[in-house]
Amino acid sequence: MAEEIKVDLELNLKGLLCPLPMVRVSQNIKNVPVGGIIKATATDPGSLADIPSWAKSTGNEILKSERIGPEIIFYIKRIK
């Protein structure tokens, strides 16, 4: 359940096209402490593969992702 995840920072990435959703997440991950969580809401369908790939290659973690209508919501945990 989304309510169970304590979010440190919310990012509105709606309307942004590739690569900007990844760029904004990358920029903002530095703004949460290690262990902190970003909730990012995107509308670019490409981000469904892009954001998890970014997380894997940078050593961060996607706790959960969900699609609600046109919105794609990621809970990203800063690991390092």
Q: Which residues lie near another protein (CB under 8 A)? A: 17-20, 22-23, 26-27, 44-50, 52-54, 56-58
E strands within 17-70? 37-42, 61-68
Pairing of strands 9-13, 37-42: parallel
Q: Which residues are catalytic?
A: 18
Report which residue type is found at 6: K
Residue 54 or 75: which CB sits closer to another protein? Answer: 54
CB of 6 to another protein, least distance (A): 26
Residue 12 or 26: which CB sits closer to another protein? Answer: 26
**Alpha carbon distance 53, 40 (integer Å):** 15
